[in-house]
Amino acid sequence: MLNKIKNASLAAAMALSMTVLTAGQAQAAAPIINDLMAKGDMPSLAPMLKKVLPGVVNISVKGKKDVQGFSLPDEFRFMFPGMGDAFGPSQPRQQEFRALGSGVIIDAAQGLVVTNNHVIDSADEIKVQLSDGREFDAKLVGKDAHTDLALLKLKEFKNLTQIDLADSDSLEVGDFAVAIGNPYGLGQTVTSGIVSALGRTGLNIENIENFIQTDAAINSGNSGGALINLNGQLIGINTAIMAPSGGNIGIGFAIPANMVKTVTEQLLKFGEVKRGLLGVSGTELNADLAQSFGYNQSTGAFVNEVMKGSGADKAGIKSGDIITAVNGKKVTSFAQLRAEIATMREGSEVNITVFRDGSYKDFTVKIGKNTEESEVAATNSKSISPAFEGASFANAKDGGVEVTDVAKGSVAQRFGLRKGDVITAVNRAEIKTISDLKKNLENVKGKISAIRINRNGGTLFITIR
């Protein structure tokens, strides 16, 4: 069984458009290529690839996963009156699985390999095969489901080749990119393209998203493989494709090298990622919201609410602020802000630039501890469900998910959510935390779902699709 690279299909939410060169543009480009070929100046990737190919590995795993048994749908239960729970959900059973993926050696001296979490998730046995055919057993050092990264350590090894990490913050759209992986289990394969976009968010692939987009062909089995620059440095870990038809259409996504570096350093040290907390809830900035606050740009992160006693609160950040930069780096969306903060350690200090009352102000914020109890409306509401876009959430004290804010005119407001609502169930499945809510909505994606809400002491239901 092949472990398929994640499908980031957004066909239900957006229409894909294609751009083609005009005849004039094509004619202008052709002489440049022809001249280079005539002079023998067309570059070859071969010298660089000879150095880096040994650093990309094939990963095979096997293990057991819980699978749900047969359950009779509610609409057919009337045919079997008096049967009680005889046709209720059966107990999960374990089923063996095998999967394939890719990985990158990032430390030859320690035998460390980075890959995607979804490649090794639930694996009991992990084997790593090098490009020269050598195979080693590997153990899991740590994994982080929020960024879909995992760190492995080879049990016995020698003569390894590592790929050094580039500074992914220095990437620009148009830079060349080369993808290396193990598509469909065929073996090591190289494709090339460019960096198509940076800072992609809102794809609902992971909790924390800040992807590099590339048109280098990425297919099933490429998960965990390398995206490198022409210097042979790692710029990203391939993780997902947009595939409305199930195959590659030239839209792939990679986790930036700087995020890989931060996460793997923590996995090596702690076995997990200890995330920091800024202490704000917010939403994506739209044109109407920006205009109402006198802000003449369309990028930034709008602050709905500041958690009392948090680092942001102590520093002086307020509701209604528009966060425009973190440590001098431009913030284009709330999802990007969340990704930036999520890689910072508790106790570290960060410079936050905000737009307030017609001017920009800088604040130094001490990052707090991010616990399950303080899971924030820094949660990307759209990543939970498109129907919840514009709402902010926090784990309720007595269980459930509290709606801490709803933006006026937002999708969430149109579906009926109000500030103070507590979501307690999705289609009869009890909800205790934000993680429960996201998981249950992912299981019914594309279907009509009934959301049970406690509001002002009473219970009501709203439906979303």
Q: Which fold has domain 383-464?
A: Pdz3 Domain (2.30.42)
Tokens at 463, concatenated: 């439906």
Residues in contact with 456: Cβ distance below 8 Å, sequence separation at least 6, in sequence order: 420
Of 118, 144, 220, 405, the catalytic one is 118
Sign (positive or negative) of CA dihedral 239, 245, 249, 251: negative
Residues in contact with 4: Cβ distance below 8 Å, sequence separation at least 6, in sequence order: 220, 221, 223
124 is catalytic: no
The predicted pLDDT at position 8 comes to 40
Same CATH topology for 1-10+27-70+92-272 and 276-373: the answer is: no
Residues in contact with 293: Cβ distance below 8 Å, sequence separation at least 6, in sequence order: 320, 322, 355
Rounded Cα distance between 202 and 209, Å, is 7
The predicted pLDDT at position 399 comes to 86
The candidate with the shortest Cα–Cα distance to 126, out of 107, 100, 147, is: 100
DSSP-assigned states of every residue in 204-270 = SSSSS--EEEE-S---TT-TT-EEE-TTS-EEEEEEEE--TTSS--S-EEEEEHHHHHHHHHHHHHH
User: Domain 1-10+27-70+92-272 is in which class?
Assistant: mainly beta
Distances (CA, A) of 275 to 145, 245, 306, 340: 13, 36, 18, 11
Residues in contact with 154: Cβ distance below 8 Å, sequence separation at least 6, in sequence order: 111, 112, 113, 128, 136, 137, 138, 160
Rounded Cα distance between 424 and 396, Å, is 10
Exposure on the CB side of residue 146, measured as CA atoms within 13 A: 21
The predicted pLDDT at position 68 comes to 56
Phi, psi torsion values for 155, nearest 5 degrees: -75, -40
Q: What is the 8-class DSSP label of residue 20?
A: -
435 is catalytic: no
Residues in contact with 57: Cβ distance below 8 Å, sequence separation at least 6, in sequence order: 102, 103, 104, 105, 113, 128, 129, 130, 131
Neighbours of 46 (CB within 10 A): 8
AA identity, residue 81: P
Tokens at 117, concatenated: 């979490």
In the chain, the N- to C-terminal Cα span, in Å, equals 32
The domain limits of the chain are 1-10+27-70+92-272, 276-373, 383-464
Of 60, 102, 144, 148, the catalytic one is 148
AA identity, residue 83: M
What pTM does this model have?
0.65
Per-residue pLDDT of the chain (465 residues; tens, 9 = 90+): 333 454 443 333 333 333 333 333 434 445 555 665 566 666 788 999 999 999 999 999 998 876 655 555 555 555 555 555 555 554 556 778 888 889 999 999 999 999 999 999 888 899 999 998 999 999 999 999 888 999 999 998 889 999 999 999 899 999 999 999 888 878 888 999 999 998 887 665 566 778 899 998 888 778 899 999 999 999 999 988 876 666 667 888 999 999 999 899 989 998 988 888 888 888 788 887 888 888 998 889 888 888 888 899 999 999 889 999 999 989 888 888 888 887 788 888 999 999 999 999 999 999 987 764 444 444 455 557 777 877 888 888 788 888 887 877 777 888 888 888 999 988 778 888 888 888 888 776 667 778 889 888 888 878 887
The predicted pLDDT at position 290 comes to 84
118 is catalytic: yes
Are 301 and 353 a contacting pair, CB within 8 Å? no
Domain 276-373, CATH 3.40.50.150 — does that match?
A: no
Of 60, 168, 196, 223, the catalytic one is 223
The predicted pLDDT at position 18 comes to 34
